[in-house]
Amino acid sequence: MAYCSPSDLLTMISQEELAELTSDSGDLPDALMVEKAIAQADAEIDSYLGSRFRVPLTPTPPRLRALSVDMAIYHLYSRRSVVPAVRRDKYEAALAYLKAVAAGKLGLGGAGDAGGVGEVAELGSQPRLFSRTALNDW
């Protein structure tokens, strides 16, 4: 299941712009190229979140949908080798956010927060009986 849809991309860029990024000829976006960009973005998201959550996350948290859109648009631009600074900044911000979530510093703010792989284990033990200095007394 994809974290965003082609229609989600159209909320951020126009259909003409999407067609320019995906289609070598014609005025309509190439649906296959759009799906590939979304799949690439989702695979990146899963690679960061997979160590902390069961992926793919369902239902998709709204923040994750926005990240997938930004990353997919970046991948479409990079296909043409001309990525505007705004798109690069959004992509790098998305990666920074995903790294922080994977490190446990931020949450997803949605249903995905409940899907953690496991709880944090805390270990405890008795004080050490022997150490380098304590062995000298024996």
In the chain, domain spans: 6-137
Task: Tell me which residue has tokens 């959550």.
Answer: 53
Determine the pLDDT at residue 115: 43
> Does residue 81 register a pLDDT over 80?
yes
Q: pLDDT above 90 covers what percent of the chain?
A: 59
Determine the pLDDT at residue 123: 66
- Residue type, position 38, single letter: I
